[in-house]
Amino acid sequence: MSTFLGIDIGGTNIAYGIVNDDFGFRYQSSLKTKSVETADALADLIFNDIRDNYKGSIDGIGIGAPSVNCLTQQIEFAPNLQKWGDIIPLKTIFEERFKREVTLVNDANAAAIGEKHFGDAGDLQNFAVITLGTGIGMGIFVDGRLYTGDNGMAGELGHIVVRFDGRECKCGNSGCLETYIGKKGIIRTAKEKLEFSSGGSILHEISPSAITPLEIFKAAKKEDPVALEVVDLVARDLGYSIALLVNLFDFQNVYLAGGVAKSGNMLRKKTEKYMKQYTLPNTRDKVKLKISEINDKHGSVLGAAAAIREKMSFALK
Ligand SMILES: [Zn+2]
């Protein structure tokens, strides 16, 4: 029986778990990303935690992270991990610390691998998983295979431009999707709307620093007019962006994953309305927008573990 460590590095949380061949969890834990000063410190923290709390061995390590170049096996210019440097050679750092083989995959690719192996997409040939959180990522399966692109950078959905001369993005461009529907973008939109609303919003009762996408979605469910307007804007930008993809790739299903997707069915329904509006008639009634049923952290951790298992069994052949 082989055992793998899967790690999911997000802009807010880092989740990891040890799984065996049948992908049952043997150990699970998590860290706050902002509490970790460097990538070397991350390797030390996880290494020490596992040494102290898990009594078995590990055969290989899969890591899902944002802005991964899967060819160089480095994180390159990740806007939400700037603190750790522009180029983060995570494979090398973890291999030196753990003395085990490591593979690094884009976090959204890890979620897509998770959806294919453990979720709803087992039989699908063409689908995408969009991760909604601090950043916006996407993993794509085309003709049954994960599509990574010529430079290993495919699926950077968060950085397609949805407004010319729009909000400044950490990537250097302006008007990127992420600046509107990433966590910070949603909060910014809500604050802008609140400034111009004449009082009639329950969001006014929350201190500005406590406004989160989850609070906004909660308020929208109570028919709060400002919150509803914000959710509608998020759904429009997301639905429009998904429609572009459906027109290009002719996906069977598109899945929403990540923290913001957990806000429930309202965002999915509204997004689906806009997705259909901008999708060609031939595919409009066929493509389905679903919320990934794999818990987002588990899905990416399992996907990262599945990636190293695939790589190691491939290497053994
Ligand atoms: Zn950008």
- Residue 79: the pLDDT is 79
- Residue 93: the pLDDT is 97
Adjacency order of strands within the sheet including 87-88: 68-69, 74-76, 87-88
Per CATH, 3-107+296-316 and 120-291 having the same topology is answered yes
- Residue 29: the pLDDT is 96
**Ligand 1 (single-atom ion) residues, CB below 5 Å:** 159, 169, 171, 173, 176
Residues of the chain by 3-state class (helix, strand, coil), percent to 5: 50, 20, 30
Q: How confident is the model at residue 21 (pLDDT cuts 50, 70, 90)?
A: confident
Mean pLDDT across the stretch 218-229? 95
Q: How confident is the model at residue 317 (pLDDT cuts 50, 70, 90)?
A: very low
Distance 184 CA to ligand 1 centre (A): 13
Write down the pTM of the prediction: 0.84
**Tell me: the pLDDT tens digits for 24-79?**
899 999 999 999 999 999 999 999 999 999 999 999 999 999 888 888 999 998 87
Residue scoring higher pLDDT (10 or 4): 4
242: closest CA among 157, 174, 153? 157
- Residue 230: the pLDDT is 97
C-alpha to C-alpha distance for 120 and 292, rounded to whole angstroms: 8
Mean pLDDT across the stretch 106-121? 88
Q: How confident is the model at residue 315 (pLDDT cuts 50, 70, 90)?
A: low
C-alpha to C-alpha distance for 208 and 105, rounded to whole angstroms: 36
- Residue 297: the pLDDT is 57
Distance 236 CA to ligand 1 centre (A): 18
* Residue 243 reports pLDDT greater than 60: yes
Distance 81 CA to ligand 1 centre (A): 14
Distance 156 CA to ligand 1 centre (A): 9
* Residue 87 reports pLDDT greater than 90: yes
- Residue 296: the pLDDT is 57
Q: How confident is the model at residue 152 (pLDDT cuts 50, 70, 90)?
A: confident
Contact (Cβ atoms closer than 8 angstroms) between residue 25 and residue 1:
no
Distance 169 CA to ligand 1 centre (A): 5
* Residue 85 reports pLDDT greater than 50: yes
Distance 295 CA to ligand 1 centre (A): 27
Most confident of 39-48, 199-208, 257-266: 39-48
Instruction: Tell which CATH classification among 3.30.420.40, 3.40.50.11540, 3.30.465.10, 1.10.1060.10 matches the domain 120-291.
Output: 3.30.420.40
Domain coordinates of the chain in residue numbers?
Answer: 3-107+296-316, 120-291
* Residue 7 reports pLDDT greater than 90: yes
Distance 201 CA to ligand 1 centre (A): 31
Mean pLDDT of the chain: 91
CATH T-level fold of 3-107+296-316? Nucleotidyltransferase; domain 5 (3.30.420)
Span of 126-135, 184-193, 253-262 with lowest mean pLDDT: 253-262
Number of H helices, E strands in the chain: 10, 13
C-alpha to C-alpha distance for 120 and 291, rounded to whole angstroms: 10
